A and B are shown apart, each in its own frame.
Chain A
Amino acid sequence: MQKITSYEDLLKLQKKIAPTLQVRENRDFSAFKTSPQICIQQCRGAGCTAAGGDKVTAKFEELLKKKGLGNKVTIVKTGCLGPCEMGPTVIINPGDILYVRVKPEDVEEIVEEHIVKGQIVERLVYHDPVTNEAIPERLKISFLAEQELRIMHNNVLMDPYNIEEYIGRGGYEALAKALFKMTPDEVLEEVRKSNIRGRGGAGFPTATKWTFLKKSPGTVKYLLCNGDEGDPGAYMNRAVLEGNPHSIIEGMALGAYAVENVKQGFAYVRAEYPLAIETLAAAIKQAREYGFLGKNIMGTDFEFNLDIFPGAGAFVCGEETALMTSVEGKRGMPRQRPPFPSEKGLFQKPSALNNVETWSYIPRIIREGADWFTSVGTDRCTGTKTFSLVGKVNNLGLVEVPLGTSLGKIVFDIGGGIPKGKKYKATQLGGPSGGVIPIQHVNVPVEYESVTALGAIMGSGGMVVMDEDNCMVDIAKMFLGFCRDESCGKCVPCRAGIPKLLAILTRITEGKGTMEDLDKLEELSEMMQNACLCALGQTAPNPALSTLRHFREEYEAHIIDKKCPAAVCQALFRAPCQHTCPVGLDVPGYIALIKSDKPAEAYKLIMQRLPLPMSVGRVCPHPCEGKCRRGQVDEPVAIRHLKRYASDYAWEHGISYTPEIKSVKSEKVAVIGAGPAGLAAAWDLAVEGYKVTIFEALPVAGGMLAVGIPEYRLPKEVLNKEIDNIKKLGIEIKLNTPVKDINALFKDGYKAVFIGIGAHKGDKMGIPGEELDGVYDAIEFLRNVNLGKFVDVGKKVAVVGGGNSAIDAARVALRKGAQEVHIVYRREKADMPAEEEEIAAAEEEGIKLHVLTNPVKVIGKDGKVVAIECQRQSLGDFDKSGRRSPKAIAGSEFNLAVDMLIEAIGQRPDTASINLDDIKTGPGGTVIAEKRTLSTGQKGVFVGGDAFTGPRTVIEAIASGQRAASSIKRFLAGQELLPTVDRKDAEMFTYPNIPPTEEETAVHARVGIAEIRLADRMSSMKEVVLNYTAKEAKEECSRCLRCDIR
């Protein structure tokens, strides 16, 4: 080939190549059949190659040759296109049709159907994870549709090993434009106008850096490219190095021209990126051959050379002074600044270092102008930025968005949200030097300043998404461990300080931490930020500080409660299920007992911590199953069903269990409310030997279990059987006896009082017409039905709300004669707080869901409700709960004709009914008490359950009753109250400790549970969910992985 020696030479070559590349950008699929040329663009990035991309290519080549299509169809191996998790990817043009996860055996079908017949193979294209709709066009898949591809754009259109393709796409035109039409100062000015800031993380304005270098005295200066990309989970730069290496070369040549006196550049690329080094090396070789590097570039007297320096495998070499020391051939240790590299850098000469992404942006800024660059982004942070989106997110891969895009948009719209319906928790930005951005800040625009204000850093672009199963202390520990291993050891605060920090975190994750440790952690971190020599040490404490700032409660849970809320820190527990259970049930134990044919023993083991196992076995929202490790294999073990199985078995066989009373004591304790919290507290106190009286305002015991949960979920017979068993301990339950005055109880000789009045008052929406006849709140409605009172259920019923009460009310209304039941909810179905299985059951029974709909007015006639006026909602910004908040769509009002409206939007404790004196209530009408001891402002008065927490779950209420009982016990004994529950199980149980066999650990879906026929449901309140048979239960037990055996 011939060297390019003039602007005209370049344009001539460009003109020759450009038409041959056009087909690759032809997105019009209708042109496919008539197109003289077809192009298969296959990603050769690491993700696709690792997934077997080369075999797919080979198969394509083989089949095309066999079919004689070699002339018409070309195959190009291109750079990375972003959605790495979907590899190997294949794009076929015209049409821009994307095939994902292509296997060699799929190739024949693609060739036969698509290439030959022009039919898209739907089975192999991207399917939307929510709607399951097939989306063949690449730029329409949700992952790419919301992106702004400027850096990544060229990746899929070129063979990175072919310089002519780069030229054909306008490459080296910017360099030509600079050399022939612009002065160095004009180039620098254009970069300044673009306001581009360093993409490596710190965001220093690139033009300012170049100006320092330009003004620095000397005739030998260096430019460097930082391709060390060492942040765990970050690989944006690799995609550019591997997919578009010439843009980096051209960018550096432009930089050298603008700065002047630069004849040599170095690209420092980490040795762990062999493909990137190979690609860039090939590109440099070609650029030399074509006269874009070396002496007399494009026939001018401009000279610039570029060499690759493979990194030495140390994270610290991403720090600019360490990188330069490393290029000098020495151990990569940083130097104190000042002097800054612009004065004394590489080989003691003035130097400047920019990130890969910054360099690759420069040619387009010069060619297309600063205005093009600033047309996206924010005022202070212009342009786009690439991120690598990893962690707990559905769509993994490379993402390019304008700076200032909200984090929520990246995680939820582009990333597709969190897998397996888990709850989003936080995103880590900036790797080991960065910090976390918690869910309540998910609206934050991702740009340098706003991210820094939240204690994170932008960093080079690593974005690690974390969900409820990530422990924040563990995350901080992981990053600090990384920094400890990567510290160069030069300065003492980093070398010796990081291990001290790490020791504190390790202590905390092992449950040996103290609250003073948190102060020490902060002090040590602050000292390190000030004393360390380079950014590695100065920023190493950031993940710890940032998690402590946003998740202090989680640290306190480890220290005070000895609990890891995410069930990650193994030193704190036997098994995640047991650890997550609010009452700490020995789940592996009772599963092992059921498995070895001892269900009655299993029941007794459950009874050590849970006096209502049949009820809880039916209605518990089973947080344990959410953390069950089996869920990572296939589905969680059906822990709740197994609990029901064991306790129902005992009942059916006439077995009941009451523990022995430890020692009879003289003190009397009053419990207000016979709900799960009150019953649990009474049980524990009675076992201790206290005389317990429960005062219940309603005519039945059981609280919400009796009057909130419908019969078809929890039959009254079951609940009453359990309450009778509780009474066997000598507990007296006084029904129809509301307590008006707590002090009167003390006068009556009670030495301690537990308030467990629950949350039985329904919230109102506050819209016009709520006073009309036929408007109920769900709590009132369910209570009346449960108490057997007459309720005039309408023919057409609307229920407002998305929680379990809403579903319960809707399903009850249906059973009580309603012909049509509508649930109106203002967000999307996925946002509904009700349990998924309950929503599914409601839909199955014919209940109609109106999501993104909100009632604004109740319309009445003759004092009775006849319709509700609703408004459609659209989802706007994210709120503090991490969900998009609904916004009314103006003019979308419509009427829903109903003759009954049930509001199920929230509930609160009815504290007004009791004279509380020194006891204060807080938001939502809840009783204020010390969080862990549950002691209120009045001596001897304790609180628990929904009355303290607001509406929560049965199992949490029981745990809270037990916690209060533990405090009452210590209070009556004159002992100091403890932040943890002080208890000992009455009996010890032994069960086989046999790890699961290989067969048992193999994929095996959860054993399904039988339900009564749909036809039988509508007319009766019969229990819907049936029990496991003995065989089914044992089979399900064999799915337990026995995490408790280590």
Chain B
Amino acid sequence: MLCTIHIDDREIRVKQGANLLLTALDNGIDIPNLCYMEGMPKPPASCRLCYVEIAGRPSPVTSCTEITVDGMVVRTSSPEIRRLRKFSFDLLLSRHQINCSVCPANKKCSLQQIARSQHFRIIEKRFNRVEPLLPEDTSHPLFNFNPNRCVLCGRCVYICSSKGTGVLDFAYRGLETRVSTFAGMPLAETACNGCLECVRVCPTGSLYLKEKKQ
């Protein structure tokens, strides 16, 4: 069943119950996001960037966890939305190794794209930056994993368990949380079959192919 919703004053006809973030993106409306992927049964809503305002709701909500309902009125920008997005973005970068010039993801990195579209700065002094300083895993013949660039969006974890062999998951808690193999063993020693889906979905230069420069 189709329904009509309004996003930023644009009328959109869409299937009722469709993912709101996806609907916006499909219609060329930009909402910054890192952790959502099409097909996820339960969006993690962990990057806290895709905030929108929905008429009738007291405060901004994450668009990835909303579904389209007939008559829905959505705004994708406001000072409050910007404040929340910037808060999350600055905090994400406070834990991200910033060395873009030597990063394999330079110029196609999602963080750079979001900074550009939202007019945020990559180098921001608001929060003290504390990099994780974890060792890089270069054991795998096809790709490397630099956990210091990881923003913990969880796309690799999701894709590895749905399309790969399920060798990745989150480990540790709080600020020490990281994407890890079982007991932190080198990737080469895991059941990884080298499908490279994780490299494909990584939004930063954390998981990257071997032949590329570091």
Chain A residues in the interface with B (C-beta under 8 A): 314, 331, 333, 335-336, 338-339, 348, 484-493, 495-500, 503, 527, 530-533
CB <8 Å contact, B174 and A336: no
9 further A-B pairs in the complex, CB-CB below 8 A; given A336-B62, A490-B170:
A333-B170, A335-B45, A348-B41, A487-B174, A496-B91, A496-B92, A499-B130, A530-B59, A530-B84
Chain A neighbourhood of B149, CB < 8 A: none
CB <8 Å contact, A484 and B175: yes
Instruction: Identify which of A314, A491, A503 contacts B46 (C-beta below 8 A).
Output: A491
Which B residue's beta carbon lies closest to that of A333? B170
CB <8 Å contact, A495 and B127: no
CB <8 Å contact, A496 and B41: no
Taken together as a complex, chains A and B put the C-alpha atoms of A837 and B42 apart, in Å, by: 68
Nearest chain A CB to B90's CB is how many angstroms away?
A: 9
- A487-B174, A530-B59, A533-B46 are known contacts. Are A493 and B91 too (CB-CB below 8 A)? yes
Which B residue's beta carbon lies closest to that of A487? B174
Q: Which of B41, B88, B174 has the most CB of A within 10 A?
A: B174
Nearest chain B CB to A527's CB is how many angstroms away?
A: 5
Is residue B94 contacting chain A, with contact meaning CB distance below 8 A? yes
CB <8 Å contact, B87 and A527: yes
Chain B neighbourhood of A498, CB < 8 A: 174-175
Nearest chain B CB to A507's CB is how many angstroms away?
A: 11
Taken together as a complex, chains A and B put the C-alpha atoms of A488 and B92 apart, in Å, by: 15
A-B contact pairs, 24 of them (CB 8 A): A314-B173, A335-B42, A335-B45, A336-B44, A336-B65, A484-B174, A484-B175, A487-B173, A488-B173, A488-B177, A489-B170, A492-B46, A492-B92, A492-B151, A492-B152, A496-B95, A496-B175, A498-B174, A498-B175, A499-B174, A500-B94, A531-B48, A533-B46, A533-B48
Which A residue's beta carbon lies closest to that of B152? A489
Taken together as a complex, chains A and B put the C-alpha atoms of A503 and B91 apart, in Å, by: 14
Chain B neighbourhood of A491, CB < 8 A: 45-48
Q: How many chain B residues touch A (Cβ–Cβ < 8 Å)?
A: 36
CB <8 Å contact, B88 and A492: yes
Chain B neighbourhood of A488, CB < 8 A: 173-174, 177
Instruction: Identify which of A335, A495, A527, A530 contacts B174 (C-beta below 8 A).
Output: A495
Chain A neighbourhood of B170, CB < 8 A: 331, 333, 489-490
Which A residue's beta carbon lies closest to that of B157? A331
Nearest chain B CB to A478's CB is how many angstroms away?
A: 16
Chain A neighbourhood of B87, CB < 8 A: 493, 527, 531
Nearest chain B CB to A486's CB is how many angstroms away?
A: 7
- A335-B42, A527-B84 are known contacts. Are A489 and B91 too (CB-CB below 8 A)? no
- A336-B65, A497-B91, A531-B88 are known contacts. Are A489 and B43 too (CB-CB below 8 A)? no
Nearest chain A CB to B147's CB is how many angstroms away?
A: 13
Is residue B9 contacting chain A, with contact meaning CB distance below 8 A? no
Chain B neighbourhood of A314, CB < 8 A: 173
Chain A neighbourhood of B174, CB < 8 A: 484-489, 495, 498-499
Taken together as a complex, chains A and B put the C-alpha atoms of A338 and B152 apart, in Å, by: 22
Taken together as a complex, chains A and B put the C-alpha atoms of A458 and B41 apart, in Å, by: 35
Instruction: Identify which of A331, A492, A503 contacts B47 (C-beta below 8 A).
Output: A492
CB <8 Å contact, B84 and A533: no
Chain B neighbourhood of A338, CB < 8 A: 65-66
Q: Which of A314, A485, A490, A533 has the most CB of B within 10 A?
A: A490
Which B residue's beta carbon lies closest to that of A314? B173
Taken together as a complex, chains A and B put the C-alpha atoms of A485 and B176 apart, in Å, by: 9
Taken together as a complex, chains A and B put the C-alpha atoms of A489 and B47 apart, in Å, by: 11
Taken together as a complex, chains A and B put the C-alpha atoms of A323 and B3 apart, in Å, by: 35
CB <8 Å contact, A489 and B177: yes
Chain B neighbourhood of A532, CB < 8 A: 48
Chain B neighbourhood of A485, CB < 8 A: 173-174
CB <8 Å contact, A492 and B173: no
Taken together as a complex, chains A and B put the C-alpha atoms of A487 and B154 apart, in Å, by: 16
Is residue B138 contacting chain A, with contact meaning CB distance below 8 A? no
Interface residues of B in 131-179 (CB under 8 A from A): 151-152, 154, 169-170, 172-177
In terms of DSSP, what is the predominant structure of the interface of chain B?
A: loop
Chain B neighbourhood of A530, CB < 8 A: 59-60, 84
Taken together as a complex, chains A and B put the C-alpha atoms of A336 and B92 apart, in Å, by: 19
Which A residue's beta carbon lies closest to that of B60? A530
Taken together as a complex, chains A and B put the C-alpha atoms of A490 and B34 apart, in Å, by: 13
Q: Mark B20-60, 1 if CB is under 8 A from A, else 0.
A: 00000000000000000000011111111000000000011
Is residue B125 contacting chain A, with contact meaning CB distance below 8 A? no
CB <8 Å contact, A499 and B175: yes
Nearest chain A CB to B131's CB is how many angstroms away?
A: 12
Which B residue's beta carbon lies closest to that of A315? B173
Which B residue's beta carbon lies closest to that of A494? B174
Which B residue's beta carbon lies closest to that of A321? B42
Chain B neighbourhood of A495, CB < 8 A: 91, 95, 152, 174-175, 177
Which A residue's beta carbon lies closest to that of B80? A530
Chain A neighbourhood of B176, CB < 8 A: 489
CB <8 Å contact, B177 and A500: no
Chain B neighbourhood of A335, CB < 8 A: 42, 44-45
Chain A neighbourhood of B47, CB < 8 A: 491-492
Chain A neighbourhood of B84, CB < 8 A: 527, 530-531
CB <8 Å contact, A489 and B172: yes
Is residue B119 contacting chain A, with contact meaning CB distance below 8 A? no
Is residue B113 contacting chain A, with contact meaning CB distance below 8 A? no
Q: Mark B180-210, 1 if CB is under 8 A from A, else 0.
A: 0000000000000000000000000000000
Interface residues of B in 82-124 (CB under 8 A from A): 83-84, 87-88, 91-92, 94-95
Which B residue's beta carbon lies closest to that of A316? B173
Chain A neighbourhood of B94, CB < 8 A: 496, 500
The 4 A-B pairs of least Cβ separation, nearest first, read A489-B177, A336-B45, A487-B174, A496-B91
Is residue B214 contacting chain A, with contact meaning CB distance below 8 A? no
Taken together as a complex, chains A and B put the C-alpha atoms of A498 and B88 apart, in Å, by: 13
Instruction: Identify which of A487, A489, A503, A533 contacts B45 (C-beta below 8 A).
Output: A533
Which A residue's beta carbon lies closest to that of B127? A500
Which A residue's beta carbon lies closest to that of B153? A492
Chain A neighbourhood of B59, CB < 8 A: 530
Nearest chain A CB to B3's CB is how many angstroms away?
A: 17
Which B residue's beta carbon lies closest to that of A534? B45
Chain B neighbourhood of A490, CB < 8 A: 44, 46, 152, 154, 170, 177
Taken together as a complex, chains A and B put the C-alpha atoms of A487 and B95 apart, in Å, by: 16
Taken together as a complex, chains A and B put the C-alpha atoms of A490 and B87 apart, in Å, by: 16
Nearest chain B CB to A17's CB is how many angstroms away?
A: 48
Taken together as a complex, chains A and B put the C-alpha atoms of A754 and B83 apart, in Å, by: 51
Taken together as a complex, chains A and B put the C-alpha atoms of A484 and B92 apart, in Å, by: 16
Taken together as a complex, chains A and B put the C-alpha atoms of A336 and B172 apart, in Å, by: 21
Is residue B128 contacting chain A, with contact meaning CB distance below 8 A? yes
Taken together as a complex, chains A and B put the C-alpha atoms of A405 and B64 apart, in Å, by: 44
CB <8 Å contact, B83 and A493: no
CB <8 Å contact, A492 and B48: yes
Nearest chain A CB to B157's CB is how many angstroms away?
A: 10
Q: Which of B91, B151, B177 has the most CB of A within 10 A?
A: B91
Chain A neighbourhood of B172, CB < 8 A: 489
Chain A neighbourhood of B130, CB < 8 A: 499
Taken together as a complex, chains A and B put the C-alpha atoms of A331 and B171 apart, in Å, by: 9
Q: Which of B46, B94, B127 has the most CB of A within 10 A?
A: B46
Chain B neighbourhood of A492, CB < 8 A: 46-48, 88, 91-92, 151-152
Chain B neighbourhood of A531, CB < 8 A: 48, 84, 87-88
Chain A neighbourhood of B95, CB < 8 A: 495-496
Which B residue's beta carbon lies closest to that of A489? B177
Taken together as a complex, chains A and B put the C-alpha atoms of A466 and B127 apart, in Å, by: 33
Nearest chain A CB to B181's CB is how many angstroms away?
A: 14
Taken together as a complex, chains A and B put the C-alpha atoms of A500 and B43 apart, in Å, by: 27
Nearest chain A CB to B179's CB is how many angstroms away?
A: 10
Which B residue's beta carbon lies closest to that of A503? B128
Nearest chain B CB to A1043's CB is how many angstroms away?
A: 33
Nearest chain A CB to B84's CB is how many angstroms away?
A: 5
Instruction: Identify which of A339, A493, A500, A503 contacts B48 (C-beta below 8 A).
Output: A493
Taken together as a complex, chains A and B put the C-alpha atoms of A336 and B48 apart, in Å, by: 11
Nearest chain A CB to B205's CB is how many angstroms away?
A: 18
Taken together as a complex, chains A and B put the C-alpha atoms of A532 and B45 apart, in Å, by: 10
